[in-house]
Amino acid sequence: MKETAPEKIYIEVTPDGTRYYCDAVKEQRTESSDIEYIRADAFIEKACDYLMEYEFNDSPTIADRRKRVEEFRKYMKGD
């Protein structure tokens, strides 16, 4: 069975002078100082969903909209 990583993780850090040390990796924010990280593929998918819905809706066809979103996806992945 393939396990998937959570969409977001939170790193609990403690300051020690000018350095920060990781105390815990969690799936929910428990402290306001926790640092939020999101998986790159999850971020790209959310951005593509947004672009498809709101930004590229002036495209003449749905195929053109999909093409522009796919170009964006490839750009973000570095392809």
All residue ranges of the chain with pLDDT < 50 are none
CA–CA dist 18, 33 (Å, integer): 15
Domain range list for the chain = 8-37, 40-77
Q: How far is CA 50 from CA 44, 46, 68, 75, in A?
A: 10, 6, 12, 16
Query: Quick one: pLDDT at residue 70?
Result: 92
Query: Quick one: pLDDT at residue 19?
Result: 62
